[in-house]
Amino acid sequence: QVQLVESGGGVVQPGRSLRLSCAASGFTFSNYGMHWVRQAPGKGLEWVTIIYYDGSNKYYADSVKGRFTVSRDNSKNTLFLQMNSLRAEDTAVYYCATSLGGKGVFDIWGQGTMVIVSS
């Protein structure tokens, strides 16, 4: 069945880096744009970034621009989020998500991976 599984979360010190992964299965990964969305503890949802199906275009939230980089490996059905210069305010559950139904919104979500930025 269709599935997105995030990994790579953990505890990291401020200023350090972390790379998240999202493994896709059950659909043709290379046909779909992929997003990262995050949610700080007890807070609302924040869209982070999108990468087009072929990696040709990427957009970022202002809060992460210049620090985070999204990429994908279509041969391995995997999405990545490289997070550099991490700050306490980056602490959140990070979800990967996509739109499989052609609606342009998030109809498929992963279960999320927790990132804690703390000294």
- Least separation, in Å, of the C-beta of 96 and other proteins? 10
Q: Is 32 among the residues that bind other proteins (CB under 8 A)?
A: no
Q: Is 95 among the residues that bind other proteins (CB under 8 A)?
A: yes
Counting residues that bind other proteins (by CB under 8 A) gives 21
- Least separation, in Å, of the C-beta of 45 and other proteins? 4
Pair type for strands 78-83 and 18-25: antiparallel
Residue 78 φ/ψ region, left for φ over 0, alpha for ψ in the -120 to 50 degree band, beta for the rest = beta
Q: Is 110 among the residues that bind other proteins (CB under 8 A)?
A: yes
Q: Which of 60, 68, 80, 94 binds other proteins (CB under 8 A)?
A: 60
Cα 33 off chain centre by: 12
Nearest to 116 by CA among 14, 35, 6: 14
Query: What tokens appear for 26 in the block?
Result: 């059950």
- Least separation, in Å, of the C-beta of 78 and other proteins? 19
3-state class (DSSP) for residue 31 = helix
Chain residues that interact with other proteins, rule: CB under 8 A: 44-47, 50, 59-62, 95, 97, 101, 103-107, 109-112
